[in-house]
Amino acid sequence: MSNNGFAEFILYPAIRMVTETLEVADPQKLEAATAQKLAMDKATVSLLSATENAVKANDGFRAVSVYPMLEEGDPIAVVTLLGADAFKIVTEKLD
């Protein structure tokens, strides 16, 4: 969320900085952002905690993406993990 609606940002972990912020104007992206906000409004667990739990449960993998969504009305985090030779997508409850 930004003051004017929704924004997405590019984060470079190696330098620990947000290097670019873009206002979301595309109707499909706005719909997805609204759905993600609704999921986070219901969440009691942060995306960071959910991501950390997913990494701890999957030895040898690291997180490369996470986003919230509602599944049957319940908030979950969809976490994409990267291992030595494979990707894995897992879900973590956010409530």
Single-letter residue type at 48: L
CA distance 95 to 81: 21
CA 26 centroid distance within chain: 19
Q: What is the pLDDT of residues 1-51, one digit of tens each?
A: 666 788 888 887 788 888 888 888 899 999 999 999 999 999 999 999 999
- What does residue 39 show for φ and ψ, rounded to 5 degrees? -65, -45
Question: Global pTM?
Answer: 0.81
pLDDT of residue 51: 96
Q: How many helices (H) and strands (E) would you count in the chain? A: 2, 5
